[in-house]
Chains A and B, each alone.
Chain A
């Protein structure tokens, strides 16, 4: 057996010796994170009323009434959401923006919608949202209902007002009644068919501002990144003199880093597998819970392996760069929170300015979250997988460079 393989096996053994410490720290981390997330979401529900929602409009938007309505929507501060409405040339472009997470939803306006509606011919408006955004769709529907109810009430006031004005101006009572009745019936005809006035379409998409999926994926990625903190004891008890002796005996920095990284990866998978298996079993026996109904955890958990491989490499690199325990823990925490924050693991990505989103799209945390998001929607894209592999290679290469520098450090004292 080569020394590199022996070294890997001993590292694995060393990691598992530290399991109790890691489990205790993991439980502590989960407790803190759970409390933080609960607090954040309970506060977030009220904050969400003032969240910025990017809404796209495709189709015939030239009508002056519609323009006025869009303007009103944009300036409606008392709305449940602050809505930013963007006119988009065609549906393909809108769908692309939705998939990139730049839009919460887009609305497809039929041609001559307003003029047709005035004549009582209601055409269907299509509201396209991302998968998992049904909550958002329901809220849009609710807003539309409120708006329609408002219109009905005001229209009815106008009908009765007309009836009184006609009587006051000498129109015979039966004629005024018939005319008012005809207007009211026309309006009721239009209003009663309002359920046919729109349609919510959910597309399987990723990176969008779905209410549930990105939160789940983001929370998983953030949890995995923060989990690195619990392994501080593993990484900070490494021996530089041992690395030097191994190097002198032909087991260089590459073999050392690969051996330690693979042992760490297997250890991480083994530790995380236990709660994942419990979760999958529970999801089988308690399918009535909305979370278990919504997600196929037997598919999601094996899928997490890909982000885990990259995140483990990142954590390994950070500990290699930091050296000490305090600096290592701090670096892990700062990187996990910083990357998680701008990568949409804490807040939906579209809350951030365009430039931040563009830059974050190349970060490992963003791509890990996106990979899980895409996995939930179907098959992860080649680009996302390629970025994750590139980061894996980069982190391992940097770790090798640092290890080599440490081995060959001037002097060589412990």
Chain B
């Protein structure tokens, strides 16, 4: 399965944020998009997730365009935005029930995606009392309801401690190894360790970049 982003353009008035973004990712691969704050990374991700409309361009999976087929887009794309897409006052279970039916939830908690994410440990904990890592795992759990082949993540490990990062990255690696495609926005060298490709967004255009662990070189490239 190949996910292809083709010539996506987006402007806000005279501000041309995305000037023709194109790339493709194969199944079981992860591509990281890096760039300075405000360069348009999150805009690109929200366009791919169907939150915003682009001025032109297309997202294709195995050659099938998705933007004009919203049901297919929703089924094939999982989206974990920056921040906490959860209802703070409710428990993990309540939040999951927004996305899963009760039967699905039982199934996923016993050997399914939610079990892999270890959500059963804090199922009855209100989100407001969860750690950052728990919230992120729960957010990924919610996004995985349709078992999407493509998962878009906006800084998945931001503000997490090393243990939490390791647990999330272990899950993402597992997802990738089972044929999933990952597109993630990142500033974190630890996140980049699971990526197969890096791209730097500069002036609304993507540039290929090979990350070799040299942060100083990466900063220069940004």
Nearest-Cβ distance from residue A22 to partner chain B, whole angstroms: 12
Q: B42–A10 contact, CB under 8 A? A: no
Residues of A within 8 A of B89 (CB): 14, 17-18, 237
Name, among A242, A247, A249, A410, the residue most crowded by chain B CB atoms within 10 Å (CB to CB).
A249
B1 at the interface (CB under 8 A from A): no
* CB-based contact A410/B51 at 8 Å: no
Tell me which residues across on chain A come within 8 A of B51, comparing CB atoms: 244, 247-248, 407-408, 412
Answer whether residue B188 sits at the interface, using C-beta atoms and an 8 A cutoff: no
Interface size on B, residues (CB 8 A): 37
Residue of A nearest to B41 (CB): A411
Q: How far is the CA of A242 from the CA of B89 in the complex (A)?
A: 13
Interface check A32, CB cutoff 8 A: no
The contact sample of 20 A-B pairs, CB cut-off 8 A, is A3-B99, A6-B98, A10-B94, A239-B87, A241-B83, A241-B84, A244-B46, A244-B79, A245-B85, A247-B51, A248-B49, A248-B79, A410-B12, A410-B17, A412-B42, A412-B43, A412-B52, A412-B154, A413-B82, A414-B83
A240 at the interface (CB under 8 A from B): yes
Q: Could you tell me the distance in whole angstroms from the C-beta of B27 to the nearest C-beta in chain A?
A: 21
CB neighbours of B40 from chain A (8 A)? 411
Main secondary structure of the interface of A (DSSP, over half): helix
B95 proximity list for chain A (CB < 8 A): 10
- Given A239-B88, A240-B83, A412-B154, 7 other A-B residues pairs in contact with their CB atoms under 8 A: A237-B88, A245-B81, A248-B49, A407-B51, A411-B40, A411-B42, A412-B81
- The residue that B97 contacts in the complex, of A10, A249, A410, A412, with Cβ under 8 A, is A10
Given the known A-B contacts A3-B98, A247-B51, are A413 and B74 also in contact in the complex, defined by CB atoms under 8 Å?
no
Within 8 A of A (CB), among B130-153: 142-143
Minimum C-beta distance from B141 to chain A (A): 12
For A6, A237, A248, A250, the residue with the greatest tally of chain B CB atoms inside 10 Å of its CB is A248
Contacts of B80 in A (CB 8 A): 245
Q: Which B residue sits closest to A411, measured CB to CB?
A: B42
Interface string of A201-240 (1 = CB under 8 A from B): 0000000000000000000000000000000000001011
Minimum Cβ distance to chain A for residue B164 (Å): 17
The complex places the Cα of A3 from the Cα of B88 at a distance, in Å, of 18
With an 8 A cutoff between CB atoms, is B38 at the interface? yes
Residue on B with the closest CB to A248?
B49
* Chain A 394-413: CB-based contact to B (< 8 A → 1; otherwise 0): 00000000000001101111
